[in-house]
A and B are shown apart, each in its own frame.
Chain A
Amino acid sequence: MPDYQIVVCGSVVPDPLQTLEPVSGPTGPALKNEMMLPAWLDPWAGHALYEAAHLASHNPGSKVWLVALGPKAKLQQVMMTLAQKAPFELIALDGSASGFTDATETAGAIAEAIQAIPGIDRTRLLVFGGWESASRGAGATMQIVGELLGITDQFQGVDGVGIGVDGSLRILERIEGGRHQVSICEAPPVVLGWATGDLPEPRNNPQVGMANMRTIMPALQKAKPTKVGAEGVKFLSVSLPKQARDTKIVKDLTPDQIAAEIVEWIANK
């Protein structure tokens, strides 16, 4: 069985249950009360992490790292919950994780951190991440990370990866029409930008949490300050999709009635 080195790139985003409001801060655009908003691991990166942990658990000798670039205090907060989900070693970079960063600068810092992992071996290296982000959404960061690491086998919108008897990787990539393109990649290194995969969020496991925490706190303490704010860039305007709430309680409607009501609601907007 192959023993992989799986590096997951993922950071924090504001809890999707929160109300987000862009404001102009002293260093450019920001979210109102950003440091007070609860945070969570970017859901796309979350899928990548859970897939990585699953792959590692089925391939003894494999190891998972999580390279996370975000405000140190927020990373610490998120780790308290995330650390119980899957075994990993954290590599923390202390910088902005807002929606107003530059994908190239972010990717540069991440690639540098990956290259600095002691004992990293390109022949065993799988670089995972989200193909999208809940806060940045450039869709480019993982591709640039791959380029900077010189990894040419890159796949985006990945929903599954299987290991062949010859050690090759069988990768499912989303394509138009709700279908998957199947690619066979002979061997690592490879970059996989995950879509959703098909694994549920793992249950909290206190033993995993205790083991992770022994490396998480030292990693946070030595987190390197990292600038990814695209200094000098001027944002001409920032907006969020307008929210509309129209709550009512109805019972026993048929699916057709519900659909008709939604169509009518949309038509009137």
Chain B
Amino acid sequence: MERPRMDADIVCVGFGPASGGFLTTLSRAILNPDGSTAIESPSVPGLPLQVLCYERASDLGFGVSGVVTRARGLRESFPDLDPAQIPMAAPVASEKFLYLLDPVGASRRPALMRLADVAIRALGGILRVEDDAMELPWTPDFLEKHDGLVLSIGQFNQWVGQQVMGVAQIWPGSPVEEIVVEDGGVAGIRLVDQGVAKEGKPSDGFLPGMEVRSALTVVADGPVGPIGRQLDKEFGVPDGHQTHDWALGMKFVVDLPETCELEPGTVIHTLGYPEPEIFGFFYVHPNRVASMGIFVPSWFDNPARTAYRYLQHWMLHPAIWRHVKGGRLRSWGAKSLQESGRRGEPRLVGKGYARIGEGSGSTNVLTNSGVDEAWTTGVLLAEGVLDLLKQKKPFTEENLESAYVRRRRESWVDKEGRIAEHARDGFQRGIIPGLAGMMVAGLTKGVVGMPGKPMPPHQRVPSLEDYYRGRIAPEEIQAIRKESEAKGISVHAALMERAGWPAIPLDGELLVSHQDALLIGGKVHAPPGYADHVEFLYPRECESCGSKICIEMCSGQAIFPGENGRPAFDREKCVYCGACLWNCAKSNPQDPKKSLIEFHAGAGGLHSAEN
């Protein structure tokens, strides 16, 4: 069957905050106030500029996360922004950091931290220790979000989508398989084939993915999007570019109990528990709803790391549980965060393409801010594109460099990104050097930092036997491994309980099994007729992997032990967090910088816009 083709002027890959900023700015200039055409389409003369945006998820705002943001870029785009118009949005009312002590005795804390814990408990009356938590007396300026907003990015994206629809067309449920490379540049995109079997072969109702040709392709497919990686492969990356720093953010959206007294806009950050490497967040939305969760970073060297189980232990900490006990799980989700920041910046432009958003290295890893930065990169690109359109200049690399990259270099996003470049390096050596390095980098505006070299998991994550040395005997680990393989489940629950973590007292409301979270909160959906998007490139290599972090870290239990211990994939459970992409414990035999897992374009995933 011949591949269909159509033409447009600008095609955008992915609809998130970056595309939101791009399309908002662009769409305001395409039509005149009276509705007549201000910028005519070169591809379809007589019509306004034809701008299409293809989004992988089944609807706008599915599968993204809740945030607290200073909203500087958002307010520049919407000077009269009224948070009440955006569901679940609230101005930040208060913000605090809590250092969480270990109430169960299972946390693997460094000696220095254990000593500090003893001292904090001893001085509890003076240090205002309550519910096994100490409020930090001071929040550094660079971390504060006091003038910002608490948002559900899902609801925010839907709101933005409503503003731009009509001028730009946004099409959810439309994964982009690859870019069309031609004459040393990008000439458009190709959507995924439909009506295929799980291994990708044509099946009932086969429809080859449409090729959409455009003068400019805007790539905003986030940190785990396949188009960004394809661009890196085709056109190379700048010297010093690295993307080894990651985190998995996992969260619950919770209906808070009537007894909870937290005001909308309350922001609580936590550190110290359940493991020192895991950070927590608690944001209160209007109408007694909260987004709450944890970040599990790539430098947390636990080969059986799991976000879901740790999230439940975090929630059960007395300082958190006091607010949520009696509440109810409403939604749930997970997302990978690219935490290399500006050092993960790829080539931003080339002939016929430009990159914006998180996948373009815009996240600020010192201020822990990404949405505002991503939005602003989209705005900057749109301003540059409008300049080129008005001057009738083509989208060459040189013109895009001048119109977009120059703007970006002069922006606050880039200036602050440079300050943050090495702020987290210390975490590569542990939590204490990491926190110290971040503080020093923040206070010296990035002049001084703590050294550390980010590395992929296969170079740094130890074996299960090494990680649990002195706690669990190798023979016992092997027995747990075998038993789990036979049951087709991950090993982390058995290992954690053996290492002292208590069982989770499931209540069916807030504390539910991982599988029930998929049903109650995630509403995971896998439309038929699409291929599996997670591919194990060297299954035999996987057989010999003793860690299989991909299984442990899988947010939806979509990766599980299959035949001969090889990981297997169930698309119907995948929430598209992309954790498997950076949680493989083996290097690719053909390209040691890569892993044994490929993460393709795919349809479906979470079916909730509250995240």
Contacts and interface: CB of A to CB of B under 8 A. Distances in A.
Contacts of A17: 523, 525, 607
A247 B516 contact: yes
B165 A204 contact: no
B155 A249 contact: no
Contacts of B515: 247, 249
Contact of A38 (B489, B513, B516, B607): B607
Contacts of B607: 15, 17-18, 38
A206 B162 contact: no
Interface string A192-207: 0000000010011111
A73 B162 contact: yes
B291 interface: no
A247 B519 contact: yes
Contact of B169 (A35, A210, A249): A210
A203 B513 contact: no
B523 to A, nearest CB: 4
A203 B62 CA distance: 20
A36 interface: yes
A206 B174 contact: yes
Given A15-B607, A207-B210, A249-B488, A77 B158 contact: yes
A206 B171 contact: yes
Interface residues of B, number: 48
Contact of B173 (A19, A33, A204, A217): A204
A84 interface: yes
B88 interface: yes
Interface string A221-244: 100000000000000000000000
Interface in A11-44: 15, 17-19, 33, 35-36, 38
A180 B162 CA distance: 44
Given A38-B607, A38-B609, A80-B171, A206 B62 contact: no
A45 interface: no
A76 B162 contact: yes
A36 B171 contact: no
A81 interface: yes
Interface in B150-166: 155, 158, 161-162, 165-166
Interface string A62-97: 000000000001001100110010000000000000
25 contacts: A19-B520, A36-B155, A36-B610, A38-B607, A77-B162, A80-B165, A81-B59, A84-B173, A84-B174, A203-B205, A203-B207, A203-B529, A204-B173, A204-B191, A205-B207, A206-B210, A207-B4, A207-B6, A210-B169, A217-B165, A217-B166, A245-B519, A245-B520, A247-B515, A249-B488
Report, nearest first, the 10 A-B pairs whose CB atoms are least far apart.
A17-B523, A217-B166, A203-B194, A203-B207, A17-B607, A247-B515, A206-B210, A36-B87, A213-B169, A38-B59
Given A203-B207, A203-B529, A206-B210, 18 more contacts: A38-B608, A38-B609, A77-B158, A77-B162, A80-B59, A80-B171, A81-B58, A81-B171, A81-B172, A84-B174, A203-B195, A204-B171, A204-B173, A206-B212, A207-B210, A210-B52, A221-B166, A245-B516
